[in-house]
Structure formats: structure tokens, C-alpha cells
Amino acid sequence: MDAVRILPDDCRTLIAAAFERETSPAGRKALEYILKNISIAENSMLPLCQDCGLFYAFVELGRDSSIRPAAIERAVNEAALNAAQKAFYRKSCVNDPVYDRINTGTDLPVIFDWQLRDGKGASVSFLLKGFGSENCSSVRMIRPTDGEDGVVAAVLDIVRAAGGKPCPPMFLGIGIGATMDKASVLSKKALVRPADRPNSDQRYAALEKRILDEVNSLGIGPGGLGGINTCLAAAVEYLPTHIAGLPVAVSINCWADRKAFIEIEEGQL
């Protein structure tokens, strides 16, 4: 329940540091109000943003685990429903995307991504995905010969088009490789990684740093008001892909990078 009103320490630290170094008066004022917003939400039951997002759950299940996937699915949906009912979540989920668009009234169903891992037990990483930023997310299917420069150019093109709409300073999740749809999932998975933890591959860690620096050079700034803090962190996740392709997906999150992590041990479900 706390994820909707308490920002993780890694995100809050980055926002505070951005406030200290911001050179634009308007951008600095925007960051000041963001920090006040964080404090008010933390000391009340009010959410960080009126858009409380959709529940997105990444489940990693041990190959040797005795926990049944159905038990995890049931527990996650029950927990999400409990949170939505008790923590002042705005109900933001509709039953049909095109026609009926009737609000479910529960914020359910949770969107799931499942993955196997070695060992026992399971873990669930939650992302509360708001749609002001989600609507600015995108995919580019670039040429394999475009390489690193092409990846960076694709990310910059997406961020430049987004401008101030996703409530910057933003967090960027970037998925590279696999297929168009899987790259998009990877970009979401990148957002749940701690914002102060670089990719374990030094090449991709350097790519994250390059993307962060070049996005911040765009001058969009906090709230789209100009400044040097357009992006707080860029995280890359990647998978193998076809010889003929180089999918690049970018999931943009606003400054309210709301996430939570739960480890499930054998016997708990």
C-alpha cells in the first residue's frame, strides 16, 4: 500500500540531488514543489500523484520451487485489491480498451510478466505505471548496423517528442533486443531496478551513462520548464535478438517512480 505514497529512497535521493544542482530558476522551483509533494504524501495517506497507475507485476519463480503460479497470482491480485481499497488509489483500469471502457472499480486485473530463475522461492517486483508518462513511451525497430549511436538517437527522438508531457525529471527504462513486444517488457523491467544500480555489463552501464548525459543535454528540464535535469536515471535491459533486427523500446516514467519488491520463501504460499 505504501508504494502509492512513499517514494523509494533511491529515487528521492536523485531528486534531492537534482534540486541542488539545477541551474534553471523555473526548473529549480518545479523540483522544490516535487520535494514538498513527496513530503506531504509520505506524512499522510495521500498518493504521490492523482494517477495511481496500473499494477504491473514481474514474477520470478524458482525452477525448483514448490510454490504454484496460481497461488502467486491469487496472492498478488488480493494484495493489489486490498491496497486499492485502503490506500486511496484512484480507480484507473477499464475492462475493455476500445469499446465499453467501463471502469473495473478495483484497479484490477494486475498485469503479469512471468520468468523462471534458478533455485527455490519467488520474488515479485511491482511497478505502479502512470499513463501520462506511459503515453509517451515508444518502440523503434532500427537497423543492426545503427549500433550504439542508433540506440542513443532512438532514445533521444522519443524523449524529445515527449517533451514536458511525462512530468520530468523522468526515469527511463530501455529494452534492447529480442522482439518488438519483448523489448517493451524489458523496458518496464528496467524501471523496477534500483535507480542507483548500473547494468552489471560495463558496456551497457556506459551506454546508460551516455543516454543520461545526452538526454539531460536536451534542456527540457523539470516540469518541461527548462534546465539540466530532464532525466534522473536511465536503465538498460537486453536480450539476444535476430541477426536482421535491433529493437529498442523506451518506457518513460515520471519522477514518481513508484515500485515495490517482495521476496516469497518456500512455504509462505
Pairing of strands 259-264, 170-178: unpaired
Task: Report the helix count and the strand count for the chain, using DSSP H and E.
Answer: 7, 8
Task: Tell me phi and psi for residue 4, to 5 degrees.
Answer: -75, -15
User: Does the pTM of the predicted model rise above 0.75?
Assistant: yes
Amino acid type, 61: L
What average pLDDT does the segment 233-254 reach? 98
CB 261 within 8 A of CB 123: yes
| Strands, sheet with 111-117, edge to edge from the N-terminal-most edge strand | 111-117, 54-62, 122-129, 259-264
Per-residue pLDDT tens over the stretch 246-262: 999 999 999 999 999 99
Pairing of strands 122-129, 259-264: antiparallel
User: Domain spans of the chain?
Assistant: 132-253
Instruction: Output the CATH code of domain 132-253.
Output: 3.30.1330
**Length of the chain (residues):** 269
Per-residue pLDDT tens over the stretch 166-209: 999 999 999 999 999 999 999 999 999 999 999 999 999 999 99
Mean pLDDT of all residues in the chain? Answer: 96
Pairing of strands 170-178, 231-241: parallel
Per-residue pLDDT tens over the stretch 40-91: 999 998 999 999 999 999 999 999 999 999 999 999 999 999 999 888 889 9
